[in-house]
Each structure stands twice: as C-alpha cells, then as structure tokens.
Structure 1
Amino acid sequence: MRTLAQQIRIILPLVLFLFASPDAGAQLLKKLGKAAERAAERTVERRVEKETQEKTDAVLDSILEPGSKGKQQKGQNPFPMDGGNNPGGSDGVNATANIPDSGGPKSIQVYSKFDFVPGDKLLFFDDFSNDFIGDFPSKWNTNGGGEVVTLNDSPEKWLELISGYNLYFIPDVPSLPEEYTIEFDIETVGLDNKTSSTATLRISISDDDLFKEGSNFVHSHLPFCQYAPIGINMENHINSEREIYSTVKADLRDEVLNRPHISIAVNKQRYRLWVNEEKYIDIPRIVPQGGVLKTLKFHMNNFKDGKERLFITNLKVAKGGLDLRRTLISEGKVSTNGILFDSGSANIQPQSMGIIRQISQVLQQESSMNLNIIGHTDSDGDDTTNMQLSKKRADAVRNALVEIYNVAGDRLKTEGKGETVPIGDNGTTDGKAQNRRVEFIKI
C-alpha cells in the first residue's frame, strides 16, 4: 500500500508536465482515454469468460462426476502411514486414492485437449494388490530396498522408493519394443522449501538390464524442489557418447504435491512426456535407433532420508500407442483398456480423455459412421453388479463424446457385457487390467 507521500511523488510530475506542455498533455489524456476503454473491454471479456466457465463446469460436473457437490480442495500430503492389508475391490485400475485433489469438472475440461494415447497391448501392470504390506513387490527388482505401503485410510497400495547412490528399482517389464507407452502415479511426503534442487526421480530406459546406466540410455529427471521451478532434465547416451543434455522449462511444484499422473510415449526415436494433462517433452530424435533400449528403471536422487518420501503405483506399460483413429477407420472397431474409471464407479479419470478425443475426431471426419460403445469389467465382485457397472461406464463415455466433443447422441449406442467376455486371465493382475476395457464398434 503506497503512502500519501509516495502517491504525491508519483502524481506531481505528471501534473507539472500537463501544465508545462498543453499539446503533450492533450495527447496524453487522449491515450489515457483509449487505455481506459481497452481496460473496460478486458473487464467485460473476463466477466463473460468467468460466467461461461461456471456454466461449462456445471454441465461437466453432472455428466462426468455424478453426485459431486462442487470442487474439492487441492491435495494434501498423506503423512500418516497404515500397515493394513488391501481388501481388494471391484474392478479398479489406476483407482484414485481417498486423498483430496484438485480434480472435478475443471480438470476434465482441461484434459479434453490431452493428446496422449496409451498402447493397446498391455505388457505390464502393477498396483501391488497381490503384495503384502511391508514386502518388496514380487514383480520388481532392486539393489537396495523399498516396501509396499498404504497411505492414510485408503486400501490402495504404493511402492515406497528409497533414495541412494546407484540404487535402482526395476519392474519386470518384458523387453521393450520400439513403440510403447509408460504410465504411473506418484505421491510425495515431506517436501518443503528446503527440498534440494537436485531432488529428482529419474525415469530411465536403458540397454543394461540390471544396475548400471548402460552404453545407451534416455533419462528423464522429474524435479521435486519447492523453492524454485527447476525444470525437467533430459539426457541420452548413444554408444557411450552423450548427444543430448538439456533442461526443459517446467514449474511442477504444485503438481508433485498433488499425486501427478505421468505419461510417456516412445515411438521409435521420438520421446514425449506428460505431467497430468500438460505435455512438457517432445524430442523427435533422442532414442537410439534399432530398439536397443529394453529395460525400464527408476532412481531417486537427493531425497532426505526419513523426511522426504516418494511413492509410485499403477505402473502400466503397453505396446503401441500411436493412433487409434486409423484402426477404427480401417477395421471398423477398436478395443482399449486406456479409458480409466474410479474404482467401482463410472467416473471417467481425466487422463483417459486422449482416447475419447481421438474417437471424436474419427466421428467428425466420418460423418456417416455410427458406433456401439461396449463396456467390460474383470471378474472381481458380483456378476450382476459388474454387468450394470459396464453399461454405466459405456454410457459415461458416450456422454463425454456428446457433451465435450459435440458428437450427435443418436450416432452412439451403448452396451455392457460385464465380465462375460474376458480376453485375459482374471487370476492375475495383468489379466484383470486387460479385461477392464471399452470397445468401439462401427454399426
């Protein structure tokens, strides 16, 4: 707040200038008048935009989050730890933990421009549902430590990663192909303004299948520093020679406190990375040619032991991920397990919007095409409940196409088949993830 003396010091030279030069003063007043007019226009635009946003949010709220009564507050770190067992649940992949986040209709709207599409052939999935609390997960390898935990009162399980020199966490992903996608969720505890600028999670794809960097690799370093926007560091080696070492501008300080969803797409030499809905990395030639990078690894750097903690869950690796549109047009059908829902509900998770967006683009281009949308579940839970749930999920996808992407409703039919048409083994985590899917079939 300026004092009276400060205001006088600002205004007095202007007044003297106006009296000393009448012509200049007239020109200045004219300019000030135009500036005031432009400011008024901007105020009206902002008010109209605000009212439009509120109405749009209300529509999206009723469609994509039925029963929601307003926006939730931004997430808080789940400091307490719980050693209870996971009782399981009905049909949830990438289920959101019972921790407040910044979700709601606005998030869905922003994600409507999300262009990530997960691969269509599942290679690996782990939510640690088959592991005991306190154990290191059975489908991972490490040269250090780590254990499966729960956060607060949520039954969802996480792997707590441990920071250390040359300490790696390696999921048992089959040999990586040339085109694939990687997705996972992160949760953090204990980050503050003293968290180091070098506190990062390194996501590595490498030609070494154990605990070395390898002669060929690509590294992405996600920052967790809170006192400054550090950016995402990208690095590669090709035949032991560094070709790329760069830092991409990115302020992720809020995101890393609120359970970010990380998405990565590798299409031969091209490497893209999203944090939530935002694409930060798109490098066309960073991956060595010939598919030599076969192993996915995670490494934590410079986290303070016991204070700053990092957790990962819902790791999904899938082959493909390039373009579902061509498949739908050429074959008249496409099946995907990349459309995700909250556990036991028909609420669409925002990161699913890349697939729904591609389906809408096909329908816009092929004006005579109509689709039957079919929902499928795994075998967890009651048969009748799963049948009803699969139909509700198909309806939710239809509503998103109609309300967000303006597809005519009479072009879309829906159907639910519950657990009756499995394509994977419901006795395994991977098989259940394959069975939770949505089909689009031309009619």
Structure 2
Amino acid sequence: IEQAKKDGKQVVIVDQDGEVVAAEGADAAVPAKPGEGVWANYDFVPGNRILFAEDFSQDRVGDFPKRLEFVKGNWEIVEWEGQRLLRNTGPRYAAVKIVLPRELPESFTIELDAHFTHGNHRMIVATTAPEPGKYWNSLEGNFFQIGVAHGTGVTTRAKGGVESTNRSPEVETGLVPIRIMVDGRYAKVYVRERRVANIPNAEFRRSAEIYIENIYSGSAENPLYLGPIRIAEGGRNLYDKLAEDGRVATQGILFAVNSSKIRPESTPTLEEIGTMLQEHEDLRIRIEGHTDASGDDASNQTLSEERAGVVRRFLIDTYGIDESRLESQGFGESSPVDTNDTPEGQQNNRRVELIKL
C-alpha cells in the first residue's frame, strides 16, 4: 500500500463485503454507489437461479471441503481475516471438481474470490473436466483462466482458437472477486469491476461439472486461495419474463450485510429495470424484498421492507420514474421459493422480485 501511494496510484481499501472503507491517492473520492465512478460501465448480471453456492463456512479448518470433489493435490480449508477459504499449496496440476445438479445451460454465471501469492500462479476454470488421468492441456474448446502476470480471461489450447486475457495484478495484492458471464458463445470476465475479457465467439463445452486446476505450481510459502463460489443459471431479460409471467426474481440487486445500502455491483440490474420503466411508460410494478430464514423473524421482515423501499427510491431519483408507478413491500422470510436447508436454497430465497401491477 505504501509503495502504491509513493507511485502516485490510487489506493482503495474495502471490507470483506466489498464496501469501500477508505481511499487515498489520485481521485481519492471513490463512489460506492451504483452507476458512479468505476462502476459506470460495469455490466455483469448474475444468473437468476443458483445451481451451486459454497462459502466453506460449514467446513472444518484443515479439512478438504465436503461439497467439492477431490482430484489431485494439496487442498485444505483455512481461516483468513474472519472467513474460511480453500487453500492450495500445489503441486502443479492440483485439481478439484464441482458437481452440479444438472448440465450448465446456454446462459450461466460463475463467481468466486481468488488470491494468488506469486505473480506466475495460474488456475483454469473449465465447464467440463478432462478424461481421467489427463490434465487441462487436453481440454477442447475454450475455458477460463485466473492469473496475475499470465492474465485473467478466456483462453484455449486449440491452435488458432479465440482467446482474451489481461494481466491482473489485483489477484496478487489480495482476495478479489472474479466474475464470469456466458450467454451462448458470448463470454465476459471481470476482475472486481474491471472487464478483462469480452469474446463473442467462444466455444464452451457444457457439462454438469466445473473443473478447477492449478496449472503452474504452489507451495506452503506461496499458496493459492479461493473464496466463496457461486454458479447460477442465466435467463431472459427482465421485461420478457415480467410480461410473460407477471413477476420476475433477480439476484442482481445486492446489499451490504444486514443493511439496506445498495452495493455498486447492482448497477447493471438497476439500469435494466430503470430503462425498462422508461421505455414502457404504462408499466407499474411492486418491488418485493425477501430474505432467507437465518436470523430473527422480525429483523428479517424490517430489513426486507427497507431494502424494497430503497430500491424504489433509487429508481425514482435516478431514472425519473413517477412515484405512482412503483410500490414496495417486504416479506421477510415468509415467502421462500426454495429450501432453507442448503446454501443454494438460501441464496435463491434472498432476492428482490418485481411484480407487474
């Protein structure tokens, strides 16, 4: 941090939820509001149905995570700054798999946190696994890469195949979110708010597995860390779904933990809703807030009401939507759409819904 300050670079300090808590250096005022500053051109929208979610909070430190499938290498759960992470200390070709409930659809998103302690570290994230006994270099088509000097983005082993990667020094400086969005052959990859890959003609083989492999190396002195992992189905745009079904749920509006403060990653979804309302002037909607069943019932009810109200006010103030066209209501944990007994179900229940009036 001190060296970055000396070099005249901007230093942004965030908490574990991604909230900006301090900024120094050039352009020090870093907006943490949707649609402002570095988030103005951010266009990642998470899938609307969670297929897999794991934050390792139920795993014991020192164990291999219960919900991942071991392939090769040294993997263990560690405690780091108040949260549990998956650490890999090598060797090269160390790998794990995530087994999904069904094959990946045409549109999907993958979110995970990563921190690599050496500039040459690289991991690949593939939508299909190699044959038993083989490694990443036998994969066909495109797959994703996370790296520092070697870059993060979309790559391939095929001669003449399309690829797009960019150096990602952020991955070496600390734990950062990696976000992947695929729609058919179109793929975008982000490191924090920065888009590092944008490919319209990639070739991804779909399967019911996600394969993660360390393709460089690792050691106790230079480990690799992975944080919470979330994989979700994509879907149609919000207006089409709303027009057909009369309601649509979104995972794209995010809030600070136990707060109604909207996180800046919500920018693309809020923009889609605001533009939809501007283009369809006869459309009236109710914004509903929902929580999972963890925590106190009364607190969940209050929080859901506050969050729905904040979204309503944001759309009115930012997009000039007439107040009479928007209602808001909170339901707390009273209207689940999934079980509260699994991480995926809990995340599906934590949602904002739009209801056509």
State the TM-score bracket (shorter-chain normalisation).
Answer: 0.7 to 0.9
Q: Measured at CA, do residues 121 and 348 of structure 1 come closer, stay the same or move farther in structure 2, by a change above 3 Å?
A: same
Q: If each structure's helix is expressed as a fraction of its own residues, which one has the higher value?
A: 1
**Percent sequence identity over aligned pairs:** 27
SS at match of 1:136: coil
Q: Which amino acid aligns with 1:350?
A: P
2:142 aligned with 1:223: no
Looking at structure 2, the residues matched to 278 and 329 of structure 1 have their Cα atoms a distance apart, in angstroms, of: 33
Q: CA deviation at 1:353?
A: 2.1
Q: Measured at CA, do residues 350 and 164 of structure 1 come closer, stay the same or move farther in structure 2, by a change above 3 Å?
A: farther
SS at match of 1:105: coil
2:252 aligned with 1:338: yes
Equivalent pairs, count? 337
Whether contact under 8 Å (2:88, 2:218) holds in the other structure is no
State which of 294, 298, 316 in structure 2 corresponds to 1:380.
294
Q: If each structure's strand is expressed as a fraction of its own residues, which one has the higher value?
A: 2
Looking at structure 1, the residues matched to 51 and 327 of structure 2 have their Cα atoms a distance apart, in angstroms, of: 31
Partner of 2:7: none
Partner of 1:234: 154
Looking at structure 2, the residues matched to 263 and 206 of structure 1 have their Cα atoms a distance apart, in angstroms, of: 18
Q: CA deviation at 1:435?
A: 0.7
2:94 aligned with 1:163: no
Q: Measured at CA, do residues 431 and 233 of structure 1 come closer, stay the same or move farther in structure 2, by a change above 3 Å?
A: closer
Partner of 2:12: 74
Q: CA deviation at 1:312?
A: 2.0
Q: What TM-score do you get using the length of structure 1 for normalisation?
A: 0.68
Whether contact under 8 Å (1:206, 1:218) holds in the other structure is no
Looking at structure 2, the residues matched to 428 and 384 of structure 1 have their Cα atoms a distance apart, in angstroms, of: 22
Whether contact under 8 Å (1:345, 1:389) holds in the other structure is yes
Q: CA deviation at 1:334?
A: 0.8
Q: Measured at CA, do residues 161 and 408 of structure 1 come closer, stay the same or move farther in structure 2, by a change above 3 Å?
A: farther
Whether contact under 8 Å (2:186, 2:201) holds in the other structure is yes
State which of 121, 125, 130 in structure 2 corresponds to 1:199.
121
2:328 aligned with 1:414: yes
Q: Measured at CA, do residues 357 and 349 of structure 1 come closer, stay the same or move farther in structure 2, by a change above 3 Å?
A: same
Which whole-Å deviations, capped at 9, do the CAs of 1:26-47 have from their partners, x for residues lacking one?
xxxxxxxxxxxxxxxxxxxxxx
Looking at structure 2, the residues matched to 280 and 405 of structure 1 have their Cα atoms a distance apart, in angstroms, of: 29
2:303 aligned with 1:389: yes
SS at match of 1:134: coil
State which of 183, 190, 195 in structure 1 corresponds to 2:111.
183
2:194 aligned with 1:278: yes
Partner of 1:264: 180
Q: CA deviation at 1:184?
A: 1.6
Looking at structure 1, the residues matched to 19 and 48 of structure 2 have their Cα atoms a distance apart, in angstroms, of: 28
Looking at structure 2, the residues matched to 365 and 224 of structure 1 have their Cα atoms a distance apart, in angstroms, of: 42
Whether contact under 8 Å (2:73, 2:94) holds in the other structure is yes
Looking at structure 1, the residues matched to 139 and 190 of structure 2 have their Cα atoms a distance apart, in angstroms, of: 26
Which whole-Å deviations, capped at 9, do the CAs of 1:171-197 have from their partners, x for residues lacking one?
222332222111122245xx4xxx44x
Q: What TM-score do you get using the length of structure 2 for normalisation?
A: 0.83
Rg (Cα) greater in structure? 1
1:47-62 correspondence runs (5 A) = none
Looking at structure 1, the residues matched to 313 and 217 of structure 2 have their Cα atoms a distance apart, in angstroms, of: 43
SS at match of 2:224: strand
Q: CA deviation at 1:202?
A: 1.9
| RMSD (CA atoms) | 3.0
Q: Which amino acid aligns with 2:254?
A: L
2:348 aligned with 1:434: yes
